[in-house]
Amino acid sequence: MTTTTSRTDVVLPPLTRVYRSRASVELKEFFRQRESVVFTLLFPVILLGVFGAVLDYDIGAGVSFTQYFMAGIIAAGILGASLQNMAISIATERSDGTLKHLAGTPMPKSAYFIGKVVQVLAVTVLIIVVLLAVGGLAYGVPLPSGSDWVTFAWVAALGAAACTLLGIAVSSLARNGRSASAMVTPIALVLQFISGVFFQFSQVPTWMQTIASLFPLKWMAQGLRSVFLPDVLAAQEPAGSWELDRVALVLGLWCVAGLVLCVLTFRWQDR
Amino acid sequence: MQKDSLLPTGKGPRPPHPAQAQGGTRDGAAAGPWREPDPDAAISIRGLVKRYGTATAVDGLDLDIHRGEIFALLGPNGAGKTTTVEICEGFRRRDGGEVRVLGTDPAEASRRWKAQLGIVLQSGAGDSQLTCRELVRAEASYHADPRDPDEVLELVGLTEKADARGRLLSGGQRRRLDVALGIVGRPTLLFLDEPTTGFDPEARRQFWSLIRSLRDLGTTMLLTTHYLDEAEALADRVGVIAHGRLVEVAVPAALGGRGQAPAVVSWTEDGVRRTADTATPTAFVRELATRFPGEVPDLAVARPTLEDVYLRMIGHEQ
Ligand SMILES: Nc1ncnc2c1ncn2[C@@H]1O[C@H](COP(=O)(O)OP(=O)(O)OP(=O)(O)O)[C@@H](O)[C@H]1O
Ligand SMILES: [Mg+2]
């Protein structure tokens, strides 16, 4: 081998500075893009408004469908902020050369993903806050209480983590942002229909329930129903209970699968 | 921040690079005996091969780029310039040969190694909702000791557009932003893959003086371009690449035997335009001057331009 004369005295900036910088870049990229703000943030709120006004029937135990829908639309909002957002934005950045440019800088690769995580976190929290506010003020959906907040937090966090990882993995399948959107939007819509977002899950045909239970959205919605609905309604679930242990298990498995897929498929440039 | 400011300071010109005094070397084209890559060179390439499927894009390329030198890589579309440059930058894998960039194999790129590079890709740096200033600041944050972002924007002539979003820039402005992102980290070695595409003439001149001041600071540069005047104005040496092979490496004035090529003397005599090829234009003109009482009408002495010899070389290759 050749002797190398590479320098070892080159200084790198502190990681925290790079992480902060990437976080700020990602927040600006999201909130300055009208399409992403409307599609990801406003759309769930509009749906809540429409469904709350139209489907205000009693689903039992004196609970309105709007309250049921709150769990579903928050789950769908998290899906949009994480899976759909990541798949589309990363596919776009890969096809327009942003990722390749970053790969040529001394930026640590971890900083890119930290920035994305901060973006997902910020958008997710914002969606949840807005949905809770609109649901509470316009439709009288009560806020969760006591230990339900803990369930709320871990279901949302675990679901967002699984869907972020899946979104990063899915971005590698698409040629560009547009094709990522064409791929992931219909899938998300179908999943929303069969996972108990727009209808009560108990009204979905059994074979569709089976398909839905393979994917994270159904488990996020179910976990969140345990937060927003009284426990008597657990009887309406397929298993007759909220199955929170199973929610944690399936979402955890999707995190592992998503991470493996990311590591196997992530590319910094177009093929 | 001012220790190596690029803004005009009235500093004297730098002495010419040693390679410039040597005249034309053919260290690229000669199929000489195998030599190890030179670890002290900024870039050292030996027998580089790159294939895409069955097509060979780079076919046994040898090249040394010295520290502190500006090297221009010329060649027709598809010659293999970007492929070679992006292998040096660590973006593409090679299929054969050895490459050392700042003493390191680019296939084993580390962050410390990348911190010494500035990269302006032919494909640009992507779209963004951020403003020029925010983008240059973000880029600066990846480096321990970056240039002042506002100064960098001024150097590339984007001060007026500092608060405009990256995606709303014109083509040439976007390219200037790419250059700004490439130099903000104070690179030791700067790669510029067709950096001036879309520049207006004034921006090009401004870019040239930026490149010269970077050279005065000791920055090594590998530049690809289709503008021969740019290569001639900036480069210490130029290499011509065709079909993935270096055809010749020389100082611009000596490329293609340009220095020794016969000069063409032209003048008007008895109302007729006349020309003569001569290896001794001075003697020829002195002799010519004796035939006229005063000025020789319409006298001109010309050497083949870089474009003439370049086109001749490329023509032979194809
Ligand atoms: N990713 C790729 N996959 C397949 N073929 C490629 C790829 N990149 C380049 N090539 C081919 O390799 C050859 C060299 O391409 P390269 O981009 O290096 O040329 P270049 O000298 O930079 O040309 P230009 O002046 O047009 O930028 C071309 O024939 C090109 O079609
Ligand atoms: Mg090219």
pLDDT tens by residue, B114-124 = 999 999 999 88
Contact between B42 and B102 under an 8 Å Cβ cutoff? The reply is: yes
Lowest mean pLDDT among A20-24, A192-196, B19-23: B19-23
Task: Choose one of B56, B81, B241 to mutate for the ligand 1 pocket test, by most ligand atoms within 8 angstroms of C-beta.
Answer: B81
Nearest CB to B141: which of A13, A93, A104?
A13
Interface pTM, i.e. ipTM: 0.88
User: Closest Cα of chain A to B186: distance in Å?
Assistant: 12
Residue B75 phi, psi (nearest 5): 160, 155
The shortest C-alpha distance from B129 to chain A (Å) reads: 5
Neighbours of ion ligand 2 (CB under 5 A): B 81-82, 122
Average pLDDT over residues A57-64: 82
Given pLDDT bands bounded at 50, 70 and 90, which one contains residue B26?
Answer: very low
The answer to whether A209 touches A181, Cβ cutoff 8 Å, is no
Asked if B115 lies within 8 A of A12 by C-beta distance, the reply is yes
Cα of B77 to ligand 1 centre, how many Å?
Answer: 8
Asked if pLDDT for residue B162 goes beyond 70, the answer is yes
Q: CB count, 10 Å around CB of B299?
A: 14
For residue A151, being part of any structural domain is answered with yes
Euclidean distance between CA atoms B81 and B194, whole angstroms: 10
Residue A122 lies in a domain: yes
Residue partners of A14: CB distance under 8 A and separation at least 6: none
pLDDT at position A52 is 81
Mean pLDDT of A27-36: 92
Apex A76 CA angle, A74 and A81, nearest 5 = 90
Residue A66, token pair as written in the block: 């709007």
How many domains is chain A partitioned into structurally?
Answer: 1
- What is the β-pairing status of strands B220-224 and B189-193? parallel
> Chain A residues with CB inside 8 Å of B119's CB?
101, 104-105
Identify whether A186 is part of a domain.
Answer: yes
Domain membership of residue A255 (yes or no) is yes
Average pLDDT score, chain A: 90
What does the alpha-carbon distance between residue B70 and residue B73 come to, in Å, rounded to a whole number?
10
Amino acid at B119: I
Which ligand has an atom closest to residue B80 CA?
1
Q: How far, in Å, CA of B204 to CA of A182, rounded?
A: 41
B51 pLDDT band, cuts 50/70/90, is very high
More confident residue, B35 or B237: B237
Q: Which residue has the tokens 């298990």?
A: A249
For residue B8, pLDDT beyond 80: no
Please list, in sequence order, all residues whose beta carbon lies within 8 angstroms of the beta carbon of residue A210, skipping any fewer than 6 positions away: none
What was the pLDDT predicted at B32? Answer: 53
| Locus of tokens 């730098």 | B14
A32 class by beta-carbon count within 10 Å (0-12 exposed, 13-18 middle, 19+ buried): middle
With a cut of 80, say whether residue B5 has pLDDT above it.
no
In this structure, the strands spanning B43-52 and B55-65 are antiparallel
Q: Do A97 and B112 touch (CB under 8 A)?
A: no
* Ligand 1 atom showing the smallest separation from residue B194 Cα: 27
Tell me what the pLDDT averaged over chain B comes to: 85
Chain B residues with a Cβ under 8 Å from any Cβ in chain A: 36-37, 39-40, 89-91, 98, 100, 102-104, 111-117, 119, 121, 123-130, 134, 137-139, 141-145, 165, 181, 185
Q: Encode pLDDT of B124-146 as tens digits.
A: 888 899 999 999 999 999 999 99
For residue range A249-264, list pLDDT tens digits in order.
999 999 999 999 988 9
Asked whether A71 and A229 are in contact (CB, 8 A), the reply is yes
Chain A and chain B share a number of CB contacts under 8 A equal to: 109
How many C-beta neighbours within 10 Å does residue B295 have? 9
Instruction: Give tens-digit pLDDT for A63-91.
Output: 888 888 899 999 999 999 999 999 999 99
Across the interface, of A2, A12, A92, the residue whose CB is closest to B39 is: A2
Residue A48 falls inside a structural domain:
yes
Encoded tokens for A54: 């139209």
Residue pointed to by tokens 């976190």: A121
The DSSP bridge partners found for residue B45 are B63, B99
Alpha-carbon distance A248 to A227, whole Å? 14
Q: Which of A143-147, A227-231, B68-72 has the highest mean pLDDT?
A: B68-72
Minimum CA–CA partner of B41 in chain A: A5
Long-range contacts of B39-42 (CB under 8 A, 24+ apart): B39/A2, B39/A3, B39/A4, B39/A5, B39/B100, B39/B103, B40/A5, B40/B67, B40/B103, B41/B65, B41/B66, B41/B67, B41/B100, B42/B66, B42/B67, B42/B68, B42/B69, B42/B101, B42/B102, B42/B188, B42/B189, B42/B220
CA distance B75 to B81: 7
Q: How far is B89 from chain A (nearest CA, A)?
A: 7
| Residues of chain B with C-beta less than 8 angstroms from the C-beta of A105 | 114, 119, 139, 142, 185
Model confidence, pTM: 0.85
* Cα gap A114→A96, rounded to integer Å: 21
Q: Which atom of ligand 1 is nearest to the CA of B79?
A: 21
Nearest to A83 by CA among A187, A178, A154, A213: A187
**A46 to chain B nearest CA, in Å?**
25
Stronger pLDDT, B78 or A59, i.e. the higher one: B78
In a domain, A8, yes or no: no
For residue A232, is pLDDT > 50? yes
Say if residues B275 and B300 touch (Cβ distance below 8 Å). Answer: no
φ and ψ at residue B62, rounded to 5 degrees: -115, 135
Beta strands (DSSP E) in chain B are 43-52, 55-65, 70-74, 96-101, 117-120, 189-193, 220-224, 237-242, 245-250, 263-269, 272-278, 300-302
Residue A218 within a domain: yes
Q: Which domain holds residue A255?
A: 15-265
Which A-chain residues 18-37 have CB contacts (< 8 A) with chain B? Answer: 18, 20-22, 24-25, 28-29, 32-33
Sign, CA dihedral B151-B152-B158-B162, equals negative
Matching residue, tokens 């709350």: A52
Provide the pLDDT for residue B238. Answer: 93
> What is the distance in A from the centroid of ligand 1 to the CA of A57?
63
Contact A101 B126 (CB under 8 A): yes
Strand order in the sheet with B272-278: B272-278, B263-269, B300-302
Are B143 and A4 a contacting pair at CB < 8 A? no
Contacts of B134 in chain A (CB under 8 A): 25, 28
Task: Kindly report which listed range (A5-14, A32-41, A135-144) carries the lowest average pLDDT score.
Answer: A5-14
Q: Which among B36, B91, B112 has CB closest to A2? A: B36
pLDDT of residue B4: 58
* Nearest in space to B189 (alpha carbons), one of B84, B107, B88, B81: B88
Q: What is the pLDDT of residue B6?
A: 65
Q: Residue B12 above 70 pLDDT? A: no
Gap between the Cα atoms of B307 and B231, Å rounded: 10
Counting ligands in written order, the one closest to the CA of B79 is 1
A166-216 confidence digits (pLDDT tens)? 999 999 998 888 898 899 999 999 999 898 888 888 888 889 889 999 999
pLDDT range class, residue B106, cuts 50, 70, 90: very high
In whole angstroms, give the CA distance from residue B276 to residue B267. Answer: 9
CA distance A171 to A267: 10
Query: What does the pLDDT read at residue A140?
Result: 85
Task: Tell me whether residue A51 is in a domain.
Answer: yes
Q: Is the pLDDT of residue B13 over 50?
A: no
CB contacts, 8 Å: B37 with chain A? 2
Residue with the smallest CA separation from ligand 1 atom 25 is: B77
